[in-house]
Amino acid sequence: MSQLTEALDRIESWLVENQPELALGLEPGLSCQEIDTITADLPHPFPKELYELYQWHNGSTSYGVIPFYESFDSLQKSLEWYQECVENGYLKPQLFTILMGEYEHYAVALGEDPNPVWYIVMDDCIEKIRWNSLTNLILATAECYETGAYYLDENGSLQEDEQKVYAIACKYNYQGSEPKPLDESSFHQTYYSSHAADRVNLSDPDAFEQLTQLLKPSPVNPIVKVLRELVWWVTLPIIKGLACLTAIVLKGFAIESYWAKTGGDQCIACLENTLYRREGQAIAVRRLAELGDPRAIDPLVAALRDRASYVRAAAIEALGKLGDTRAIEPLIRCLRDRDVRVCNDSARVLGELGDRKAVEPLIQLLRRDKYSSRASGAIAALGKFKEPRIIDDLLGILHQRHKDSTPNYGFLAIRENLVSTLAAIEEPRTTEALIEILRDSEIVWKSPNLGYNATLPTIIQALLQRGDSRLPDLLKQWLQDSDCEVRRAMFYAINRVSDPSLNDLLILGLSEEDLWVRKMTIEALGKHQTVEAVSALISILKDTDEDIKIRLLTIRALENNQNIAALEALIEILQDENDRVRGTAAFILRKIGDKRAIEPLNHCLRDRASLVRKIAKEALDILHKETASSKTA
């Protein structure tokens, strides 16, 4: 065994022990004859080191073998990339890419002896030799794994000790520069703390005084103040005129009334934000909320009158976090703010605070601006109060959309919150409204920005809870629709609801041609663990003609299943022809931890694929330890 092959084997062993799911992404290696065929048309001889690399594994579907170089592609895919780069003049014909990062990649020189490894950053036109051979790069990588220079943090993410990595790399003739230590405090201050409010230590006794002082506007040069006022008084009439003119020009389109009601106000709000820069004050507001001092209520209420809307919005969020009832009246006044975001944020926070003083003002806002996005926050807030008095208003919005096209855009803007509120108020009339929405293709499917991710699961969940017998037939009807996008959306919604009673419908997704739908369905069925779900998954598992990605996903879907049929199916596919199927099955059996898998896994120790042998050994070590522990106990 050469040094290169031995080092690659060490990397594989480390991955199997520490990141087995990444190890399972390693594809089976190629034979010399297969490599000869694939590389026959290259203009330069293919290096011996690359023969060894692709005989080891023909790429990975999960991650690169070198940390922070995410892609270790198959030889076929790397060849396609090589040809494209050479044809477009991005790479020299003698450089063959083997590992790719986000911006940079490693390439091996063809037709040279030895074959150096080049570091390339195309965007910056950087091409430098970093290693005098692939063997040295892989030897250094293996040592970094084994000595902890590459390590897993508490979240299981791979990290590196840059100084250790550099020291090891230098042992193998690395030709890059030494990494410079990062001054984190300086970096944070430079890029993230450009305002004084960010630098206030909240544990200081006078933190409150510091932050309230920073809320005060900075002194403004008198000339700047005059220019601001001039721009304001000249521009304001122009904006109002343009808003009216635009509403006239757009007459007949769906957005006419929406623009007439909100467009001018939003432009004015943008102008205010431009003229009155208050980033520092907005940060001070947010930090007052973090401080949690009840004395902050008064300065935060004062901030609700700031000229910049993003400061007002930040103050609303802060008051919501503090949860003090003194904020209710000021927040109610904000429901008339010209900025839509401020208006909706106020409504949302009032709903979260749950004080019924806000109900009447919220109803007034809803009735005043029914067909604009300004009503969206009021609808959502009233849903939290489960206020039955607004049912007629919501039904009116729902039915009005058919009468003319003008309010249609407004309906789209508030649809998600309207559905959520109808679902929250459990009455026969709201049930009928939800059924009506589910039946109406014009609402559910045929409008811009479908929004089914939120609205459909909400409707389905509400009707399930109410035990409406019409729901299954309605869902089945949509699942048989001729439009694949409609079926995809409905399968997604059923999956989001995650109710085992819908498994019979969900199983229909296994017969879809859409690979995304099939993957989503398999994952959902794996969570439900019903007899029907397990039976459907086992059928896929045993189908050797099935797409390999689908089979691997099905194996993983059975991970938490205690069904004996699932265990037997996983044991059976330890004899599968595909290396990755056998390896993944061994890995999942290790996680299930059933001692009945010990004998079948023993047979895997003689498997033809080294990766399968290593995973089986790890699984057996764990199972034997667990068996010994249970006997001791």
Of 64-73, 236-245, 407-416, 540-549, the range with the lowest mean pLDDT is 236-245
The residues that bridge with 97 in the sheet, in sequence order, are 107
Tens-digit pLDDT profile for residues 568-594:
999 999 999 999 999 999 999 998 888
CB-based burial label for 232 (10 Å; 0-12, 13-18, 19+): middle
> Domains plus CATH for the chain?
3-171 (3.40.1580.10), 223-389+401-417 (1.25.10)
Tens-digit pLDDT profile for residues 361-374:
999 999 988 777 78
Chain Cα centroid distance, residue 20:
23
Q: How many CB atoms lie within 10 A of CB 248?
A: 9
Share of the chain above pLDDT 70, in %: 82
DSSP 65: S
Of 285-289, 328-332, 407-411, the range with the lowest mean pLDDT is 407-411
Checking if the pLDDT of 29 tops 80, the result is yes
Checking if the pLDDT of 286 tops 80, the result is yes
Tens-digit pLDDT profile for residues 490-530:
888 888 888 888 888 989 999 898 888 999 999 888 887 78
Alpha-carbon distance 372 to 256, whole Å?
Answer: 11
Contact 523, 541 (CB under 8 A): no
- Using only the alpha carbons of the chain, give its radius of gyration: 32
Tens-digit pLDDT profile for residues 207-232:
889 888 888 765 544 554 444 455 44
Of 406-410, 461-465, 596-600, 619-623, the range with the lowest mean pLDDT is 406-410
Checking if the pLDDT of 422 tops 80, the result is yes
Q: In 3D, which of 418, 421, 496, 506 has the Cα closest to residue 453?
A: 496
Average pLDDT, the chain: 83
Alpha-carbon distance 292 to 274, whole Å?
Answer: 30
Which one has a higher pLDDT value, 583 or 194? 583
Q: Which tokens hold the place of 67? A: 């940390």
Alpha-carbon distance 535 to 275, whole Å?
Answer: 65
Give residues with Cβ within 8 angstroms of 107, minimum separation 6: 91, 95, 96, 97, 98, 117, 118, 120
Of 75-84, 115-124, 237-246, 310-319, the range with the lowest mean pLDDT is 237-246
Q: What amino acid is encoded at 177 in this protein?
A: S
Q: Which tokens hold the place of 119? A: 């570091």
Res. 415 pLDDT band, cuts 50 70 90: confident
Q: Write the Ramachandran bin of 467: left for phi over 0, alpha for psi from -120 to 50, otherwise beta.
A: left
Alpha-carbon distance 610 to 632, whole Å?
Answer: 33
Checking if the pLDDT of 112 tops 80, the result is no
Contact 544, 571 (CB under 8 A): no
Angle between helices 264-275 and 222-249 (to 10 degrees): 160
Checking if the pLDDT of 307 tops 60, the result is yes
Q: Which tokens hold the place of 92? A: 């020299």
Tens-digit pLDDT profile for residues 444-467:
554 444 444 578 889 999 999 999
Checking if the pLDDT of 233 tops 80, the result is no
Res. 185 pLDDT band, cuts 50 70 90: very low
The string over 342-355, giving b where at least 16 C-beta atoms fall within 10 Å of a residue's C-beta and e elsewhere, is bbbbbbbbbbebee
Contact 599, 629 (CB under 8 A): no
Checking if the pLDDT of 408 tops 90, the result is no
pLDDT score, position 100: 87
Res. 22 pLDDT band, cuts 50 70 90: confident
Q: What is the pTM of this model?
A: 0.69
The residues that bridge with 159 in the sheet, in sequence order, are 151
Contact 491, 478 (CB under 8 A): no
Q: What amino acid is encoded at 473 in this protein?
A: D
Which one has a higher pLDDT value, 445 or 382? 382
Angle between helices 408-424 and 452-465 (to 10 degrees): 30
Q: Please name the helix (run of DSSP H) or strand (run of DSSP E) that holds residue 97, with its range, or none.
A: strand 95-100
Res. 472 pLDDT band, cuts 50 70 90: very high
- CA dihedral of residues 575, 576, 579, 584 (deg, nearest 10): -80
Give residues with Cβ within 8 angstroms of 486, minimum separation 6: 445, 478
Checking if the pLDDT of 164 tops 90, the result is yes
Q: Rounded mean pLDDT of 160-184? A: 83
